[in-house]
Homo-oligomer: A and B are copies of this chain.
Amino acid sequence: MSAPRRVRLTPEARRAQLIKLGVEMLATRTLDELSVELIAQAAGISRGLLFHYFASKQEFHLEVARAAAGEMIRRTEPDLALPPVEALRKALDAFVAYVEDNPDSYKSLVRGAASGDVEMRAIFDATRATMAQRIIVVLDQLGFTLSERASLAVHGWVAYVEECVVRWIAGSGAEGETLGREAVLDMLTKSLPAVALAASDGEIGTLVEILTATEQPTT
């Protein structure tokens, strides 16, 4: 018996350890690439033992996706003690940092959502709903009455931010891309009141005020 790395853990602790490992490995590979063998090896246990803790590969993948989504949500929580625009900007900053640190996790979530898997889709929908709901709180603080249209706009805006950030980080499409991080944060911050206003009637004055207030000398 010369396996010193094998540590005895409670079932809960072992499950948590395996999920944590999965989330870490997901940062730079998609769920499809996250094999059970790889995880078992990293944890120093056998493939068979892993299935003692998870009923199936599918269950393991769901738990990893759920934990990854939870981590993203925690890291991007807006600080409501700050002025609204600043809270929004900091939350966006945290989101950009999250995607930078985990270039593949987010892709996995999106893929899961697009797949036929109902439970995966539920995780993604819940994540998006949480993000949209937070934004609705910020908009409320900015003084926007949230009509049905404005609420639709907020959901669309979450997709807007995702697309811009993923695209900016991938640096896709542009040769000699030089867009700085602050410039991106600036455009994302301003785009929220912009689309909210585009979904409202006759509040152009309010938008101008907000855009002017968030205007910063960026290039």
Interface size counted on chain A using CB atoms at 8 A: 52
Please report the C-alpha to C-alpha distance between residue A30 and residue B164 in the assembled complex, in whole angstroms: 27
A159 proximity list for chain B (CB < 8 A)? 159-160, 162-163
A190 touches B198 (CB 8 A): yes
User: Which one of A19-27, A36-44, A88-96, A145-153 is at the interface?
Assistant: A145-153
A11 proximity list for chain B (CB < 8 A)? none
A187 touches B153 (CB 8 A): yes
In the complex, what's the smallest C-beta–C-beta distance from A65 to chain B, in angstroms? 14
A1 at interface, CB cutoff 8 A: no
A195 proximity list for chain B (CB < 8 A)? 160, 191, 194-195
Q: 1/0 per residue A128-142: CB within 8 Å of B?
A: 010000000000000
List the interface of chain A (C-beta within 8 A of B).
30, 32, 110-111, 113-116, 129, 148-149, 151-153, 155-164, 167-168, 173-174, 177-179, 183-184, 187, 190-191, 193-195, 197-199, 201-202, 204, 207-208, 211-212, 215, 217-218
Top-10 shortest CB links A-B = A114-B114, A190-B198, A159-B163, A194-B194, A156-B164, A194-B198, A191-B198, A160-B160, A156-B160, A187-B199
